[in-house]
Amino acid sequence: MKAKQPQLYLSGCPCHLIHRAALKAATEIKFNVDEVLVDTYCYLQNSSKRLAALERFQDEVKHQKIHKHVATRWLSVRSCLERILENWNALQEFFKEESGRSASTSNAHARLDRLKTFSRSPTNRLYCLFLVHALEPFDTLNKQLQSEAPQIHTLMRSLHGFMRKLLVRFVKPVILAEKKREKGEGGKPLERSKTVLEINYKNPSNHKSTVLLSGEADRFLTDPSSHLREEKVKEFHANTKKFYVAGCTYIKEKFPMQEVLLQNAEICDPERRLEVTEDQLMYFLKRFPCLLQSSSIDDVKTEFVEYQSHELVPGLIKERVDATWVALGQVKDGTGTPLFANLTKIMLGILLIPHSNAACERIFSCVTKNKTNQRASLSAETVDSLLVVKSRPGEPHERNYSSVQLTKLKSSYYNLLSKKPD
- Buried b or exposed e, range 378-406, using 16+ CB within 10 angstroms: eeeeeeeebeeeeeeeeeeeeeeeeeeee
52: in domain: yes
Together in a domain, 115 and 145? no
Are residue 149 and residue 88 in the same domain, yes or no?
no
Among candidate residues 254, 281, 296, the one where a domain is terminated: 254
Angle at the Cα of 352 from the Cα atoms of 347 and 354, rounded to 5 degrees: 135
Q: What is the pLDDT along the chain (422 residues), one digit of tens a residue?
A: 778 877 788 877 888 899 999 999 999 988 888 899 999 998 888 788 888 888 888 876 666 788 888 776 667 889 999 999 999 998 999 998 887 776 667 788 888 889 999 999 999 999 999 999 999 999 999 999 988 899 999 999 999 999 999 999 999 999 999 988 887 777 778 888 899 999 999 999 999 999 999 999 999 999 999 889 999 999 999 999 999 999 999 999 999 999 999 999 999 999 999 999 999 999 999 999 889 888 899 999 999 999 999 888 888 889 999 999 999 999 998 888 999 999 999 999 999 999 988 888 888 888 888 888 888 888 888 888 888 877 777 776 777 778 887 787 778 776 766 765 55
57 found inside a domain: yes
Same domain for 92 and 38: yes
Which of 329, 350, 371 terminates a domain? The answer is 350
DSSP state of 69: P
242 and 311 together in one domain: no
In this structure, the answer to whether residues 82 and 158 fall within a common structural domain is: no
Q: Does residue 221 share a domain with residue 297?
A: no
Please give the span between the terminal C-alpha atoms of the chain, in angstroms, as a whole number: 46
Residue 292 to residues 5, 42, 86, 323, 336, Cα–Cα distance (Å): 17, 56, 57, 20, 23
278 plus 320 within the same structural domain = yes
- The CA dihedral of 343, 346, 351, 352, to the nearest 10 degrees, is 150
Distance CA 129, CA 124 (A): 9
Query: Helix, strand, coil: what percent of the chain each, to 5?
Result: 60, 5, 35
Q: Distance (Å, rounded) from C-alpha 359 to C-alpha 362?
A: 5
Task: List Cα–Cα distances, 374 to 133, 331, 377, 400, in angstroms.
Answer: 42, 52, 8, 31
Specify if 355 maps to a domain. Answer: no
On whether residue 285 sits in a domain, the answer given is yes
Contact assessment for residue 144 and residue 97, using Cβ atoms and an 8 Å cutoff: no
Residue that finishes a domain, picked among 201, 222, 254: 254
Say if 305 falls within a structural domain: yes
Asked if 49 and 80 sit in the same domain, the reply is yes
Domain contains 345: yes
> Domain span at residue 61?
14-21+29-121
> Is there a single domain that holds both residue 231 and residue 294?
no
Query: Is 245 contained in some domain?
Result: yes
The count of domains in the chain is 3
Same domain, residue pair 273 and 246 = no
> Do residues 338 and 274 share a domain?
yes
Residue 250 sits at the vertex; the CA angle it makes with 249 and 251, to the nearest 5 degrees, is: 90
User: Does 420 map to a domain?
Assistant: no
Q: Are residues 148 and 117 in the same domain?
A: no
Name every residue whose Cβ is closer than 8 Å to that of residue 63 and which is 6 or more positions away in sequence: 55
